[in-house]
Structure 1
Amino acid sequence: MRRTTTGPRDLPPLGVQQAFRLPETADVVLPEGLRVVCLRSPSAPMIELVLRIPFLCATENDGATAEVLATTLLRGALGRGEEDVDTELARAGCSLGAVRRSDRIEISGSGPSAALETLVGVLADVLTGASHAGTEVDRARRRLAERLPLLRARPSTLAAEALRVHCRGDSPALRLIPAEAAVASVTADGVRALHRAAVVPAGAQLVLVGDLDPERTVALLAARLREWRSRRPVGTVVPRAPEHWQRPVRLVDRPGSVQSLIRLVSPAPARTDPRFAALSLANVVFGGSFSSRLLSNVRERGGYAYWAGSRFDDILEAMVIAVNADTATDTTVSAVAEIRAELRSMATKPVTDDELRVAGNYLLGASALAMSSQVGLATAVSTTIGFGLPPQWLESFSDEVRSVTGRQVRELAEEMFASATFTGVVLGDARLLAGPLGEHLDMVLA
């Protein structure tokens, strides 16, 4: 009988990270303004599809109407009912779904490569002729009204909306939860009108990834979507970026809450900035991974938070470094104090070569893993072009990460993670938190 060595054994060394390279790609803007990006990835006989249609609310009613629009978009088109659409997709092994995001309406789906024409055909039908029947709109409106109390009871949603309004001003485009009156006012005619005005190809981006021929797929899309035309887009109001971020942190009262949500942000360079790769590595060291300084301190050593981390986020057109923590009410003050201490330490405790090596391996490995599947690659490309970057940025970014020096990371860490530049919100019980937090933060009560 053979035996293996008992006890702990050394982990095998990491393999060399392979540089990411895009597969065969077609990138075309069709006459009506729709950008189509098709990538050949034949790892499985499947197709993944992501369509982003930019949309920002111009009025209070737009948000509620857009929610109902997304819900009813696939409920019937061109005289076909919901069952006809569902049956055609199901028989072909395909699926399609639509959701409203804060800055867009998004349609995603998948299906076998052999069913590409069916998938594209149904998509074209709902884009050009979704019926938004009165019975479907009424049902969707009632369900949305029933969900509102649940949405308003969700701390993460309340904190996210409060942060957006705090940083960019009170605008319909920033509201994540529609008002009850706006939901009650939704009508089938209003949904159809918004569809005509906002669901247009100008500025929209369609990504397909899978076992496909990119050029032939573009030709198929151009033929099937030729009736999808751009009309005058719905008016939008985009708040200006704040001139000064050194404003007080806002304490948002949630009476009786046993936990607090800490959401702090600071302006960051755009992804097109040549320093972005170095800043990404600095963020991984600070709070962007499970072995980061912030998580190791606030959660592992101190036990002050259930979760703590940092990431890049976008509040309309402003990119920020976002520092988030979820904590119990009685440890909120300690968590805030330690977060601020870790921000200061990014300047006083320079990033080491070992931290830089680990951060680079993590960032490149996580990116490679995320794009290893067809759906992951479709999501990555859709997100990238949604930020106004070419698909090739996914290649150049990984190359830039490999070339970043420790000095670049240390300089950016000192500049971008300065505690004084962060503002944000703390959602929690103001009766218990206002006094103690005021000793650590320049703070106002909402």
Structure 2
Amino acid sequence: MTCLHDRLSCRCARSLPASGPRADHRFPPFRDVTLPSGLRIVAVRTPSAPMVELRLRIPHIADTPQQQALAELAATLLFAPDTDGPRRRYGTSRHVHSGRVGAVRGMDCLAITAYGLTDRLGELLDLVAGELTGPSLTEQAVERARHRVNAQCAVLAADPRVRAAEALFRHCLGESSGRGRHEAAQHTAAVTPTSLAVWTSAALTSRGSVLVLVGDIEPDDAIASVASSWAGWQAQAPADPLPRPHDLVRPHGLRFIPLPGAHQSHIVLAAPAVSPMSPAYPSLDIANTAFGGAISSRLSQSLRDRHGAAYLAQSGVVHPGGRPLLVAQAATRTDRTATTLERMCRELARMRCASPTAAECDAARAYLVGSMLTALSSQASFASLLADLLAADASPGWIAAHPQRLDDVTPREVADAAARYFAPDRFTGVVVGDPACLPDLAQASRPGPPLITEGV
């Protein structure tokens, strides 16, 4: 008699059926409008549920620790339940009419995320506008926010991954391009309600900001509602643009950032890339997915599966300040930092001498298209994907056209992209960890940028 385990094993051993033809994805009805205030609005109709998703990205770089403290406190106080202001007219703070609204501070922006019932969109827009244009802050509310920010900064300061991301941002774009979030705690004591209100109205402006609305809406009506509710949110003078990574990414130099007592190291390598609108992006997208963009990628298999050397091993194209960077990163034990970095650099070099095979390209293509279609299956993930793409200087129609562009990429084009973008000597980066790993790092033999240790 065949046991259940044998029957299941035989069933699992069968080959999977071939997938059917992929349905064409048509981008739903939308409007893309820039108001006189400089606010760009992209409204998309997806009537799968009587809800609307809101994503607002306000670009801002805090280039001094004092500005970083102001930015952290502003993000903490927006929509907080224990402050005065327009939110009191709507009952609760972060939970508004069967929805939710909140703010988070990034290294190059302040992002507001909200959702709610479609028939309450006007009230939700009024709430957000009131927070941005007329915050009413008491000393007690600022003091409570100060304690929260200081506690958060203490956690961030001990996180190698956070420290690495912040250090890479400054290393690639220059010391004046932003400060680490963990540095804000030293300067929150000097912030008053008045100084915070003045900074918010001057720094968080409409010019250059992007609002995404996705849901059961009529795009024209939604844009008209925004124009009416947010008429008081006027732009100040536009900020100076960030320098391009193509000009500032250093072709040599891997900077070590000491974090005494850290139990693991975080390695981040970066090189200039291209934006999603570039004709070269589809081939780079496939090459990156084969290298480190999926769990079955080369980097993951080398560092995690074969050698067990890393907790995290991945790569991707990111856009700090709207500038594209190809980033590869890994998290590992302190005593394995040098060998992990060496294997990362050798995998980069292998992309040139052993480019992704046709099978790897097909698998990467299927993964990319499937991930995108999955992201479009709900209003929330659709809104987040669209907001990220707009921040990367892509157009809304890019989503519908990208699958076909991926289909058109040949293995030869992927090989060319691998040779062009993955050369180890193109990369710079940072290593954050305990100084105990420095001797091994200095002696490691590997391709790629040399180690910079001055000041350590």
Does the alignment reach a TM-score above 0.5? Answer: yes
Residue 177 of structure 1 corresponds to: 182
Match of 1:444 in 2: 452
Q: Residue in 2 aligned with 1:298?
A: 303
Contact 1:266 1:422 in 2 (8 A): yes
In the TM superposition, what is the alpha-carbon distance from 1:332 to its structure 2 partner? 2.2
Question: Contact 1:25/1:214 (CA < 8 Å) preserved in 2?
Answer: yes
1:97 CA displacement: 0.8
Counterpart in 1 of 2:22?
Answer: 17
Residue 272 (structure 2) pairs with residue 267 (structure 1) = yes
- Structure 1 residues 348, 66: CA separation in 2 closer, same or farther (over 3 Å shift)? same
Which residue of structure 1 lines up, in the alignment, with residue 147 of structure 2?
142
| Superposed displacement of residue 165, structure 1 | 2.4
Counterpart pick for 1:108 among 113, 116, 130: 113
Provide, for residues 279-316 of structure 1, a one-character-per-residue CA deviation record: whole Å limited to 9, x for no partner.
00000111111111111111101111122111112333
- The amino acid that maps onto 1:65 is L
2:183 partner SS: coil
Aligned to 1:326: 331
CA offsets 1:368-402 (integer angstroms, 9 cap, x no match): 11121101111111122222222111122222111
Q: Tell me the C-alpha RMSD between the 2 structures.
A: 2.4
Output the CA distance in 2 between the equivalents of 1:143 and 1:258.
Answer: 25
Name the TM-score, length of structure 1 as normaliser. 0.92
**Residue in structure 2 matching 1:365, options 358, 367, 370:** 370
Is residue 2:234 matched to residue 1:229? yes
Instruction: Choose the corresponding residue for 2:410, options 401, 405, 409.
Output: 405
Displacement after TM superposition at 1:189 (Å):
0.9
The size of the alignment, in residue pairs, is 443
- The alignment partner of 2:181 has SS state of coil
| CA positional deviation for 1:193 | 0.4
What residue is the counterpart of 1:429 in the other structure? 434
SS in 2 for 1:287: helix
From 157, 163, 168, the equivalent of 1:158 is: 163
Q: What secondary structure sits across from 1:269 in the alignment?
A: coil
Q: Which of 382, 388, 394 matches 2:387?
A: 382
Q: Which runs of 5+ in 1 are unaligned?
A: none
Aligned to 2:254: 249
Contact 1:77 1:125 in 2 (8 A): no
Instruction: Tell me, in whole angstroms, the C-alpha distance in 2 between the residues paired with 1:89 and 1:147.
Output: 19
Does the 8 A contact of 2:79 with 2:93 survive in 1? no
Contact 1:69 1:195 in 2 (8 A): yes
| Structure 2: stretches of 5+ with no match in the other structure | none
Q: Which residue of 51, 54, 58 corresponds with 2:56? A: 51
Find runs of 4+ consecutive structure 1 residues off by over 6 angstroms: 76-79
TM-score in terms of structure 2 length: 0.90
CA contact (8 A) 1:40 1:211 kept: yes
- Return the alpha-carbon distance in structure 1 between the equivalents of residues 35 and 87 of structure 2: 29
Cα shift readout 1:24-78 (whole Å, capped 9, x = no counterpart): 1011112222111111101111110011111112433111101111222224899
Residue type of the alignment partner of 1:443: L
Residue range with higher mean Cα deviation, 85-94 or 63-72: 85-94
Counterpart for residue 219 of structure 2: 214
8 Å contact 1:145–1:184 — kept in the other structure?
no
Residue 147 (structure 1) shift: 2.7
Contact 1:76/1:130 (8 A) holds in 2? no
In 2, Cα distance between equivalents of 1:201 and 1:427: 36
Q: Which residue type is aligned with residue 30 of structure 1? A: L
Deviations 1:340-381 (A, max 9, x none): 221111111122111111111001001111121101111111
Secondary structure in 1 aligned to 2:213? strand
Bigger CA drift: 180-189 or 67-76? 67-76
Residue 238 (str. 1) matches residue 242 (str. 2): yes
The letter of the residue matching 1:143 is: R
- Pairing 1:307–2:315 present: no
SS at match of 2:289: helix
Q: Assess if the C-alpha contact under 8 Å between 2:81 and 2:93 holds in 1.
A: no
Given candidates 393, 398, 401, the residue that maps to 1:396 is: 401
- Tell me if structure 2 keeps the 8 A contact 1:17–1:364: no
Deviation, 1:90, is: 4.7
Confirm or deny: 8 A CA contact 1:268 1:321 kept in the other structure.
Answer: yes
* Contact preservation (8 Å) 1:261, 1:326: yes
The amino acid across from 1:238 in the alignment is L
User: Within 5 A, what are the aligned runs for 1:62-141?
Assistant: 62-75=67-80, 80=85, 83-87=88-92, 90=95, 92-141=97-146
- Gap change, CA 1:437 and 1:58, over 3 Å in 2: closer
Give a deviation string over 1:389-427, Cα, whole Å, max 9, x none. Answer: 221111222221111111110111112111111121222
